[in-house]
């Protein structure tokens, strides 16, 4: 399978989001791939609110089975989320469980006016009723395949991983 160009997808995602971003909009990237995307989108869209990041490790519903990821990072939201429109950014949407965990953690910080979801890739296979507001590409993958976002000196790329 040939994967699309991640940099082109990023530009497409920014174009979808641009008309809807206001001066009050906060971007929050989910570690790690979503944080890379959010950083790039933050600059491309000229968002003035500081960039936020979330690590949802402690809010995952499979935490008891998986334990803490060895590359867990601290969440950082350097702005008040209360009363603000937010866009969660993730690289790949699959089951919806990571986004559910992000929403659980996010509401620990306050009550935003709205939360939208931006993803580079929607690969289907949802287990929860979660859908992206903004999506650059939809891919159909086998159950044993995953798409991973990588960055090399700030240049984004996608690779297919067999599990």
What secondary structure does DSSP assign to 51-115, as a single string? PEEE--GGG-TTHHHH---TT----B--S--TT-EEEEEEEEESSSHHHHHHHHHHTTS---SEE
Q: In the numeric block, which tokens belong to residue 121?
A: 């890739």
Question: The domain containing residue 65 runs over which residues?
Answer: 6-162
- Inside any domain, residue 79: yes
Q: Would you place residue 163 in the very low, low, confident or very high pLDDT band (cuts 50, 70, 90)?
A: confident
Asked if residue 105 is part of any domain, the answer here is yes
The CATH number assigned to the domain holding 67 equals 3.40.50.2020
Residue 56 lies inside a defined structural domain of this protein:
yes
- Per residue in 68-118, pLDDT tens? 555 667 899 999 999 999 999 999 999 999 999 999 999 999 999 999 999
Q: Are 71 and 32 in contact (CB under 8 A)?
A: yes
Number of domains in the chain: 1
**Domain contains 1:** no
In a domain, 150, yes or no: yes
**Tens-place pLDDT, residues 17-54:** 999 999 999 999 999 899 999 999 999 999 999 999 99
| Residue 135, domain member (yes or no) | yes
């Amino acid at each position: 399978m040939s994967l699309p160009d991640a940099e082109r997808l990023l530009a497409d995602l920014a174009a979808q989001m641009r008309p809807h971003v206001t001066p009050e909009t906060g971007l929050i990237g989910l570690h790690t791939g979503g944080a890379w995307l959010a950083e790039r989108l933050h600059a491309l869209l000229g968002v003035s609110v500081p960039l936020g990041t979330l690590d949802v490790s402690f809010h995952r519903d499979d935490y008891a089975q998986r334990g803490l990821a060895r590359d867990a990072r601290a969440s950082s939201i350097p702005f008040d989320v209360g009363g603000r429109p937010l866009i969660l950014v993730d690289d790949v949407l699959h089951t919806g469980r990571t986004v559910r965990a992000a929403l659980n953690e996010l509401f620990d910080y306050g009550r935003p006016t709205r939360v939208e979801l931006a993803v580079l890739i929607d690969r289907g296979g949802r287990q929860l009723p979660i859908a992206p507001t903004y999506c650059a590409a939809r891919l159909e993958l086998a159950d044993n395949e995953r798409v991973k976002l990588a960055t090399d000196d700030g240049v984004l790329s996608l690779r297919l991983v067999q599990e």
